[in-house]
A and B are shown apart, each in its own frame.
Chain A
């Protein structure tokens, strides 16, 4: 994946063409067009301690070589990220101001307050809705329970009534029997011996 720096091959080409003493990158731009000028510049160099304009020309050449030697970032190369020691949350973004950001102007405070207020209103609203729903459910349950209670009571009454009727019927028959029985029992009572101490 690592980029092949293209300067190497071309540099070696130039090296072969140019003199061995010179650095490889310098004459890269115009070696074939002006060979005479190149030789003259080298001669100058030896004699005079680097005139300023010449340095400039060299600098003008420099970017082209730099471009060739440019290092590629991991993003450009598409290399998968390594597991770094510093977690992503800890890494501070570049170009951002260090330290705390204070809020002191009215406008920003008002916006924060508006946000908070809206949030709270929503919470209260949802709470009320929930409470209302729960209340409805409770009411419905209560009504159902009441209905059940009434049903139960009415059933109980019915059974009671039915029992009463049943007993009445029974008691009618019983009453006759009872009178007979009384009559029977009253007779022997009369015969009972009595003792008086008078």
Chain B
């Protein structure tokens, strides 16, 4: 579903990603962990070209993102993204946030989009919040609306960029629960996270990134209980 080959990204002199190779199969849940500044978010953002890679190749569902002829807007419809700071549209209600993509991008009728929107709101447990504006919602609720907004485009892949980092602790659970449901339904997911519990429980694979390189990857229980690399051990000992 996702193939990353020799991906490099520099901001000026600063090399953020150094020759990253990664594959994500359909239905797989891959968690990317690592210290801050390791390039986790940048890697994720290269997968829908919110960051333009400096070198290498990214292939999503058979389509090369680095090919000049590729229409990135079409690829992005297949790749949903959830942001750390939710980035809901503050001038739109929860339902309008969800229906905007289908209506404007997919040219879906308003009625069909609203039906889809209400189904998705129900799925994230917010049926009663359809007509509420983002600022009237708690952080956890906002993030759940943001997940529903991304799902409204019926993507094949979902990218999560530290989706619970900006939340109060008591709201983390509700967002992770929604993500677990998604994973169970077979959604292909790439999750940048500090939630090791989630990575262990839901992840099919964990990738440890440090200084722009993949240091180690494997099944969650392998990485968490018997990390092979010293750096992985050092990182995990600090956070577990």
Whether chain B is bound by chain A comes out as: no
Partner-B contacts on A (CB < 8 A): none
